[in-house]
Structure 1
Amino acid sequence: MNLDLLSRQLIDRFQHGMPLCAEPYKEMARILGCRVGQVMACLEEMDQAGTLSRIGPVFEHSRAGASTLAALAVPAERLQQVAEHVSQYPEVNHNYAREHFYNLWFVLTGPDRQHIERVLEQLEKDTGLMPLDLPMLTAYRIDLGFALGESS
């Protein structure tokens, strides 16, 4: 995909941190020397094209409560149905299919570990499938980013 200059500038400049202020998109526009409408239209175009998957914060999970990586071994014919059901839980950040015995993976967050355990138990009751619970033992911060170059 060929990205235009504003798209490249937005990705290069803000993939590792948006302005922390009341009007972040307005501040992004000021920094890039354009109008906020241009920023919003560009982000919308990238979202619609599938170039942009998410705009949002990444929290240090241990400061915001509890979380776990979980997985289910779902029969192929039930995968879509179970994935849609799992996504209805407000504690589920996202879920995705993998080619493995455990083929549906998701991240659960909640105020404490007991809450996470209750959600996992409810998911087991709802689906008839036993979740694999993989809480983080050691955090590794990988600052993944992609410089697109020539963005100024």
Structure 2
Amino acid sequence: MKPSDYRPDATDRRIINALQEGFPLSSHPYAEAAADLDLSECELIERLARLRKERAITRFGPFFDAAAMGGAFCLCAMNVPGDRFEAVTAQVNAHSEVAHNYERAHQLNMWFVLATETPEGIEAVACAIERETGLEVLRFPKLEEFYIGFRMVA
């Protein structure tokens, strides 16, 4: 699925920037987050739903550090024939271990992240995808961690 032509407005950009810093752990987290943004709880929830629907954001939820919990992450890439791209996307995304999946204009046109409960799980899931699709899954394991914050200009 490709992103729409939707462009976040200044309020959407403030929401995206603020919620990357954390989300309240309380009995009314949306109300608390909304108050910090000078919004109503309903407006915040509606805007998050629209951002997801328009694919300005692909998910809204916690990010778990699989490696810190004994698991593993691995960036993977595939060279998928154009006429099979949607079908292969569905096959890859059917695996709950696929955290992200993006199309790129490159010979390696499908890039996704595997997150598994154990380091051995990466190989098992990648091999399963290869069997199911008949295509090679290139694995690019993390050698060093970098944090790059994403901020939108308000």
Indicate whether the TM-score tops 0.5: yes
1:60 is paired with a residue whose SS is: coil
Tell me if structure 2 keeps the 8 A contact 1:68–1:109: yes
* Bigger radius of gyration: 1
Once the two structures are overlaid, the 10-residue window that deviates more, 60-69 or 122-131, is 60-69
1:54 paired residue number: 59
Q: 1:47 to 1:131 in 2, by over 3 A?
A: closer
What is the match of residue 4 of structure 2? none
Partner SS, residue 117 of structure 1: helix
Does 77-86 or 17-26 show the bigger shift?
17-26
Match of 2:50 in 1: 45
Q: Which residue of 1 aligns with 2:135?
A: 129
CA-CA distance at 1:12 after TM superposition: 4.2
Residue 117 of structure 1, CA deviation:
0.6
Tell me how large the CA RMSD over aligned residues is: 2.1
Residue correspondences, number: 147
Aligned match of 1:120: 126
Kept in 2: contact 1:16–1:145 (CA 8 A): no
Q: Distance in 2 between matches of 1:9 and 1:34?
A: 11
- In structure 2, distance between residues paired with 1:128 and 1:21: 47
Counterpart of 1:76 in structure 2 is 82
- Cα deviation for residue 99 of structure 1 reads 1.8
Aligned to 1:86: 92
Distance 2:128 2:56 in 1: 35
Say which SS state the counterpart of residue 139 (structure 2) adopts.
strand
Query: TM-score normalized by structure 1?
Result: 0.83
Distance 1:32 1:135, change over 3 A: same
TM-score by length of 2: 0.82
Structure 2: state its 5+ residue gaps: 1-6
> Which ranges of 4 or more aligned residues in structure 1 deviate by more than 6 Å?
none
Unaligned regions of 5+ residues in structure 1, if any?
none
Post-superposition shift, 1:33?
4.3
Distance 1:2 1:125, change over 3 A: closer
Is the 8 Å Cα contact of residues 74 and 104 (structure 1) preserved in structure 2?
yes
**Identity across the alignment (%):** 33
Aligned residue number for residue 102 of structure 2: 96
